Structure 1
């Protein structure tokens, strides 16, 4: 019962079911298109990726997320295009996003490229009150009838990278929604950065981090540490935590800020095909015995003629 109450607190954060938060990913570091449209075309070749995440397996109504994306460069090499779709479900709420991404890439040095990106699309939001049955039937804050709505969505971002370094800033859900339904997606801001160094002939080390904030609670920060072996196998870990960097005033300050430790492995089975898996160890005592699994696959359409590929596997 404690686990159920905690989940309801997460979903009802605020005064009602007003916002579906951005989906949580552990393997975004292998496909940043899901958080930054300026990333479109960064790997030059056309690349398709898919994610499936099941959080807190065994807990009814726990978050589960799916995502697919495709992106690449156009013929003039200055324009990146992409598409991604996500489905994110938490208990009685369900949000689907369908987005077209575009980026303009400006070389600023022999290896440095600065990109500006825009993503436009639509979101579908639904609340199914039947999923609350036998839990809190008399709670006045819960929506009592099924509600659905379609709304436009707009994301923006910038991304800079060389062959060894990257940094990006992006913001999602820029448009304000004026709907009768209790759907008001909160604007989220992302800042990412990482670097790759050689530790030997066949080993590379990539530390990175991501900061995510909506300024209504603690900032979510991921610290990532990965090793690449023989340009084929990524092994690493992440530590995800909450830090009240901007001194935001929010409910639940007494709850632990710790979230999870993640272990990950991504293997390039061939030059075209990537397979990844992540396991999250939740650090909150109430949920520590529940597993979180995330699987990802990637496929690259290589060109027939050999071309220089900028940081093909690092970012």
Structure 2
């Protein structure tokens, strides 16, 4: 029985993410500021383009069975209302939609709807999780240059245990006699997003549907559960001159019974063609980021995290790479991102 209890206690610790550096049940991202859609469904359809992102994250490289996360996401606006110099419009050939002069005449976009899809695969040791679903958002036009959107995400989570990856002290441990290797759980999140030409601010909650998490059919070991994850973020774009911009931002993450997580970020961009950035996550890591845009259709970004917690004794840091593609279906051309990206 001691092996039975030991095994399920171990699995419970893994599934609830109860460790000092990443005390959350959902994947952690460094470059979320360039793809807040992963955390907030209210971004669905923010601009008049299909915003596609593909990414992979290798957390704590060098550490056996460390978290590995891959994701793909896409979201776009619905309807055909386009106004000049707002998120739903395309600039003329000679315009730079990220420039200071372009934003001087920026206006809020008309009220519209947005939808999106995403899939996230996350694996830590013997536990793997796949989340997939769809999002919907409504964007309200405010006066002047501002829009407010409200969105929701509905999906399904597949959570699995690889029995063969377990290293047990005794072969045939009774802990695996009634193991529940795969289970499916409904998932949902909600969010709001306020944005303009040069700023953004958002609030969101993931895992709003409480679920029991256990890898056994025995009622004696069903103590694991999902908890809501709260996110609050904001940023502002400052122009140092016509060609150089600076975007400071922050994010607060809250999970029940865990300390508040604080992220501070900054991005320095030149002509919106190449940029560098940095991030600090309190009591966890420092990060360096770099990226470049390929004309008006794609961008490639990379981030490296240097762990500052005690995990740095066994970890070689974290690597994260993201490929972004902007597809404008209405004009049948590729269009780069704009506003505060």
* Normalised-by-shorter TM-score class: 0.7 to 0.9
Question: In structure 2, do the counterparts of structure 1 residues 125 and 306 end up closer, same or farther at CA, with 3 Å as the change threshold?
Answer: closer
Contact 1:164/1:311 (<8 A) preserved: no
Shift of 1:201: 1.9
Secondary structure, aligned partner of 2:251: strand
- Inter-partner Cα distance in structure 1 for 2:244 and 2:76: 28
Pairs within 5 Å for 1:34-183:
34-76=38-80, 78-133=112-167, 145=179, 147-178=181-212, 181=215
- Are 1:270 and 2:287 counterparts? no
Find out whether 1:279 has 2:304 as its counterpart.
yes
Comparing 157-166 and 214-223, the one that deviates more: 214-223
Does 2:295 align with 1:295?
no
Q: Mark the CA change 1:66 to 1:143 in structure 2 (over 3 Å): closer, same or farther.
A: farther
Residue 231 (structure 1) shift: 1.6
Q: Is the 8 Å Cα contact of residues 43 and 310 (structure 1) preserved in structure 2?
A: no
**Higher mean C-alpha deviation, range 142-151 or range 266-275:** 142-151
C-alpha offsets along residues 191-244 of structure 1, whole Å, 9 cap, x if unaligned? Answer: 010000101121101000111111211111110011111121221100011xxx
Task: Report the 3-state secondary structure (helix = DSSP H, G, I; strand = E; otherwise coil) of the residue aligned with 2:27.
Answer: coil
Structure that is richer in helix per residue: 2
Report the 3-state secondary structure (helix = DSSP H, G, I; strand = E; otherwise coil) of the residue aligned with 1:130.
Answer: helix
Gaps of 5+ in 2: 1-8, 18-24, 82-111, 216-221
- TM-score of the superposed pair, with normalisation by structure 2: 0.77
State how many pairs are aligned.
284
Alignment of 1:178-217 (within 5 A): 178=212, 181=215, 184-217=225-258
- Cα gap change, 1:306/1:84 in structure 2, threshold over 3 Å: closer, same or farther? closer
Structure 1 unaligned spans of 5+:
1-10, 242-257
In 2, Cα distance between equivalents of 1:16 and 1:69: 29
TM-score normalised by length of structure 1: 0.83
- Report SS of the residue matched to 1:79: strand
Deviation at 1:18, TM superposition (A): 4.5
Partners in 2 of 1:143 and 1:312 — Cα distance?
52
